Amino acid sequence: MKTKAMVIVAFMAGVLAISLPMFAHHGAAAYDMSKPIVLKDAVITEFLWINPHPLIKADYKDEKGNVQHWTMEMGSTPASQLIGWTRTSLKPGDVVTLYVWQAKTGLTVGRFNKVVLADGKTMRDTQTGADNGGRADTGVGRSR
Protein backbone atom coordinates (compact mmCIF):
# COMPACT_ATOMS: atom_id res chain seq x y z
CA MET A 1 0.00 0.00 0.00
CA LYS A 2 2.73 2.41 1.04
CA THR A 3 4.75 1.41 -2.00
CA LYS A 4 1.92 2.28 -4.35
CA ALA A 5 1.43 5.61 -2.69
CA MET A 6 5.11 6.37 -3.00
CA VAL A 7 5.04 5.40 -6.67
CA ILE A 8 2.27 7.91 -7.26
CA VAL A 9 4.13 10.63 -5.39
CA ALA A 10 7.29 9.85 -7.33
CA PHE A 11 5.36 9.94 -10.61
CA MET A 12 3.80 13.31 -9.85
CA ALA A 13 7.14 14.67 -8.72
CA GLY A 14 8.53 13.46 -12.01
CA VAL A 15 5.84 15.30 -13.92
CA LEU A 16 6.73 18.45 -12.03
CA ALA A 17 10.40 17.96 -12.68
CA ILE A 18 9.92 17.59 -16.41
CA SER A 19 8.10 20.91 -16.50
CA LEU A 20 11.07 22.73 -15.04
CA PRO A 21 13.40 24.74 -17.19
CA MET A 22 16.85 23.25 -17.39
CA PHE A 23 19.99 24.91 -16.17
CA ALA A 24 22.48 22.25 -17.10
CA HIS A 25 25.12 22.80 -19.67
CA HIS A 26 25.15 19.12 -20.46
CA GLY A 27 23.44 15.93 -19.43
CA ALA A 28 24.56 13.10 -17.21
CA ALA A 29 25.33 10.55 -19.93
CA ALA A 30 28.92 10.16 -18.74
CA TYR A 31 27.88 9.00 -15.27
CA ASP A 32 26.58 5.78 -13.82
CA MET A 33 23.27 6.92 -12.42
CA SER A 34 22.20 3.53 -11.12
CA LYS A 35 23.58 3.96 -7.59
CA PRO A 36 25.59 6.73 -5.96
CA ILE A 37 28.97 6.01 -4.43
CA VAL A 38 29.01 6.94 -0.74
CA LEU A 39 32.15 8.62 0.58
CA LYS A 40 31.73 8.57 4.33
CA ASP A 41 33.91 10.91 6.40
CA ALA A 42 35.41 12.48 3.30
CA VAL A 43 37.49 15.59 3.86
CA ILE A 44 36.84 18.56 1.62
CA THR A 45 40.09 19.74 0.05
CA GLU A 46 38.69 22.42 -2.27
CA PHE A 47 35.35 23.94 -3.21
CA LEU A 48 35.70 25.76 -6.50
CA TRP A 49 32.79 28.08 -7.20
CA ILE A 50 33.49 28.28 -10.92
CA ASN A 51 31.75 28.17 -14.27
CA PRO A 52 30.48 26.22 -16.03
CA HIS A 53 30.08 24.04 -12.93
CA PRO A 54 31.34 24.30 -9.36
CA LEU A 55 33.71 21.51 -8.36
CA ILE A 56 33.91 19.73 -5.03
CA LYS A 57 37.24 18.10 -4.30
CA ALA A 58 37.56 15.71 -1.40
CA ASP A 59 39.82 13.01 -0.01
CA TYR A 60 38.26 9.74 1.01
CA LYS A 61 39.96 6.92 2.85
CA ASP A 62 38.71 3.55 1.65
CA GLU A 63 38.35 0.43 3.80
CA LYS A 64 41.99 -0.51 3.12
CA GLY A 65 43.17 2.87 4.28
CA ASN A 66 44.06 4.13 0.82
CA VAL A 67 43.27 7.78 0.20
CA GLN A 68 41.23 8.45 -2.92
CA HIS A 69 41.15 11.95 -4.40
CA TRP A 70 37.68 12.72 -5.71
CA THR A 71 36.40 15.54 -7.90
CA MET A 72 32.72 16.06 -8.60
CA GLU A 73 30.68 18.65 -10.45
CA MET A 74 27.49 20.37 -9.38
CA GLY A 75 24.76 22.28 -11.17
CA SER A 76 25.76 25.74 -12.37
CA THR A 77 26.29 28.50 -9.83
CA PRO A 78 23.03 30.37 -10.58
CA ALA A 79 21.01 27.16 -10.34
CA SER A 80 22.76 26.05 -7.15
CA GLN A 81 22.18 29.43 -5.52
CA LEU A 82 18.47 28.96 -6.01
CA ILE A 83 18.48 26.03 -3.60
CA GLY A 84 20.70 27.64 -0.99
CA TRP A 85 24.26 27.05 -2.11
CA THR A 86 26.85 29.79 -1.79
CA ARG A 87 30.54 29.91 -2.54
CA THR A 88 31.21 29.22 1.15
CA SER A 89 28.86 26.28 1.65
CA LEU A 90 31.83 23.91 1.83
CA LYS A 91 35.26 24.71 3.21
CA PRO A 92 38.57 22.85 3.11
CA GLY A 93 38.80 20.59 6.13
CA ASP A 94 35.06 19.99 6.45
CA VAL A 95 34.37 16.33 7.23
CA VAL A 96 31.26 15.23 5.38
CA THR A 97 29.55 12.31 3.71
CA LEU A 98 29.36 12.72 -0.05
CA TYR A 99 27.11 10.87 -2.45
CA VAL A 100 28.34 10.90 -6.03
CA TRP A 101 27.34 9.39 -9.36
CA GLN A 102 30.68 8.06 -10.53
CA ALA A 103 31.88 8.48 -14.11
CA LYS A 104 31.52 5.40 -16.27
CA THR A 105 35.24 5.63 -16.93
CA GLY A 106 35.76 4.34 -13.38
CA LEU A 107 37.97 7.26 -12.41
CA THR A 108 37.35 9.04 -9.12
CA VAL A 109 35.29 11.80 -10.71
CA GLY A 110 31.56 12.13 -10.89
CA ARG A 111 28.37 14.10 -10.72
CA PHE A 112 27.52 15.28 -7.25
CA ASN A 113 24.33 13.90 -5.70
CA LYS A 114 24.21 15.22 -2.14
CA VAL A 115 26.31 15.97 0.92
CA VAL A 116 25.55 15.37 4.57
CA LEU A 117 27.36 17.98 6.60
CA ALA A 118 28.86 17.51 10.06
CA ASP A 119 25.76 19.02 11.67
CA GLY A 120 23.51 16.56 9.86
CA LYS A 121 22.20 19.03 7.32
CA THR A 122 21.82 17.68 3.78
CA MET A 123 22.48 19.76 0.68
CA ARG A 124 21.71 18.45 -2.76
CA ASP A 125 22.60 18.99 -6.38
CA THR A 126 20.06 20.84 -8.48
CA GLN A 127 19.77 18.31 -11.25
CA THR A 128 20.82 14.96 -9.85
CA GLY A 129 20.29 15.59 -6.17
CA ALA A 130 17.24 13.42 -5.60
CA ASP A 131 17.94 9.98 -4.19
CA ASN A 132 16.91 8.45 -7.51
CA GLY A 133 19.16 10.81 -9.47
CA GLY A 134 16.35 13.13 -10.48
CA ARG A 135 16.09 16.84 -9.87
CA ALA A 136 16.10 18.23 -6.38
CA ASP A 137 15.15 21.80 -7.15
CA THR A 138 11.43 21.23 -7.62
CA GLY A 139 9.60 24.46 -7.00
CA VAL A 140 12.44 26.56 -8.32
CA GLY A 141 12.21 27.96 -11.77
CA ARG A 142 8.90 26.30 -12.44
CA SER A 143 6.99 27.64 -15.39
CA ARG A 144 4.27 29.91 -14.29
79-99: b (≥16 Cβ within 10 Å) or e: bbbebebeeebbeeebebbbb
Pairing, β 109-116 against β 122-124: antiparallel
Sole window of 46-54, 89-97, 116-124, 128-136 interacting with other proteins (rule: CB under 8 A):
46-54
Q: Are 44 and 89 in contact (CB under 8 A)?
A: no
Nearer to other proteins, 110 or 129 (CB): 110
User: What residue type is assigned to position 33 of the chain?
Assistant: M
Is 38 among the residues that bind other proteins (CB under 8 A)?
A: no
Site for other proteins in 63-102 (CB under 8 A): 71-73, 76-79, 82
Q: For 19, list phi and psi in degrees, rounded to 5.
A: -75, -10
When binding is defined by CB under 8 A, the residue of 17, 37, 43, 103 that contacts other proteins is 103
Q: Which residues bind other proteins (CB under 8 A)?
A: 1-2, 4-5, 8-9, 12, 16, 21-31, 48, 50-53, 55, 57, 71-73, 76-79, 82, 103-105, 107, 109-111, 139-144
